[in-house]
């Protein structure tokens, strides 16, 4: 077990050092800080009804204001047409920078290009687009590393044999596949663990609940559910409670949301993997400010990956504010 864990974590650490795209600290352009200080930074998140994205928007907005800018937060709800319209609004409002959680890895490229053509620098958070050199920075969680540490903890909870199911996020989001691949890298090392169901639940708690009900009907003997995020995991827990099977089926999450941390403390969720969204949302605004003042972000590379942290009963009390683990 230790050798397996070491191998997987070594790979995860390596991935955290992989930085793609051209240097964001390179050619200067438009760094007229005196005229842009106090301007509007537009922040576009996915869906603030999810605490993860609400924290993303709240932290970015607060940091923008603390640095002397105006800010507003809007939501695409994962829809590229809505996202495109919000970019148009940001352009019309003469935004000096845009902080964007892209709705779609490929489908959001056009929106970023539109902002770039209007001379507005875009800083991506949480999710990537499939084109380097367009956004000034892409700040994301190290999802492969997070999936690896989560899957190892899941095996400790479930054991190394038995049937299990996976709840998969939104297929349009590269993070969903990256996490699923990270789970598979670990779980495939245990040949007596059998995945009997894999359901798309689109990061949503209600869908996680409904898909878990269907999974339980078809596979009443499963021992565990590994989820791509906390909202789906919390939906699974609700379904398991209704079925009277929460003690029999172990659930693991991913995000580190306040509700998930509470569920870990209560013993209902085995663990969650905290994404440092509060850290990189703040950093994105700081890099935007640096770029507006100097023409450079101050970062070595466009893509920056931030390692995730495993949250269990042992350290859950150290999560003292949303998505932040105190030392």
pTM: 0.85
- Cβ–Cβ contacts within 10 Å for residue 218, how many? 10
Please report which confidence band the pLDDT of residue 101 belongs to, taking 50, 70 and 90 as the band edges: very high
Instruction: Read off the pLDDT of residues 115-157 as tens digits, 9 standing for 90 and up.
Output: 999 999 999 999 999 999 999 999 999 999 999 999 999 999 9
pLDDT confidence of residue 19: 38
SS3 93: coil
Task: Read off the tokens for 145.
Answer: 């590393």
Map out the domains of the chain with their CATH numbers.
19-139+277-305 (3.40.50.2300), 143-274 (3.40.50.2300)
Average pLDDT over residues 313-323: 95
Residue identified by tokens 């009443």 is 220
Burial of 247 (0-12, 13-18, 19+ CB in 10 A): exposed
Instruction: Read off the pLDDT of residues 171-209 as tens digits, 9 standing for 90 and up.
Output: 989 999 999 999 999 999 999 999 999 999 999 999 999
Please report which confidence band the pLDDT of residue 4 belongs to, taking 50, 70 and 90 as the band edges: very low
pLDDT confidence of residue 32: 56
Q: How would you classify residue 94: left for phi > 0, otherwise alpha for psi between -120 and 50, otherwise beta? A: left
Instruction: Read off the pLDDT of residues 77-93 as tens digits, 9 standing for 90 and up.
Output: 999 999 999 999 999 99
């Amino acid at each position: 077990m230790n050798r397996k864990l070491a191998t997987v974590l070594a790979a995860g650490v390596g991935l955290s050092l992989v930085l793609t795209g051209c240097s964001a600290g390179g050619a200067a352009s438009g760094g007229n800080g005196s005229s842009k200080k106090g301007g509007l930074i537009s922040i576009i998140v996915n869906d603030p009804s999810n605490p993860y994205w609400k924290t993303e928007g709240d932290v970015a907005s607060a940091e923008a204001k603390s640095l002397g800018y105006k800010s507003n937060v809007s939501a695409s709800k994962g829809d590229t047409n809505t996202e495109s319209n919000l970019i148009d609004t940001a352009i019309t409002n003469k935004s000096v920078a845009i902080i964007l959680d892209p709705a779609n890895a490929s489908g959001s490229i056009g929106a970023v290009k539109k902002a770039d053509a209007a001379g507005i620098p875009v800083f991506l958070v949480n999710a990537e687009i499939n084109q380097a050199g367009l956004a000034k920075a892409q700040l994301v969680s190290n999802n492969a590393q997070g999936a690896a540490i989560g899957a190892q903890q899941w095996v400790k909870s479930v054991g190394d044999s038995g049937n299990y199911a996976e709840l998969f996020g939104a297929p349009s989001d590269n993070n969903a596949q990256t996490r699923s691949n990270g789970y598979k890298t670990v779980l495939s090392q245990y040949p007596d663990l059998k995945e009997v169901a894999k359901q798309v639940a689109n990061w949503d708690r209600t869908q996680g609940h409904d898909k878990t009900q269907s999974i339980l009907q078809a596979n009443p003997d499963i021992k565990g559910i590994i989820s791509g995020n906390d909202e789906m995991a919390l939906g699974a827990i609700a379904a398991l409670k209704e079925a009277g099977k929460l003690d029999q089926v172990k659930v693991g999450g991913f995000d580190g949301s306040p509700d998930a941390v509470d569920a870990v403390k209560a013993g209902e969720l085995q663990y969650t993997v905290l994404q440092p969204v509060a850290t990189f949302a703040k950093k994105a605004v700081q890099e935007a400010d640096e770029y507006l003042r100097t023409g450079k972000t101050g970062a070595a590379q466009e893509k920056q990956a931030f390692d995730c942290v495993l949250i269990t009963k042992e350290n859950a009390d150290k999560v003292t504010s949303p998505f932040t683990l105190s030392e």
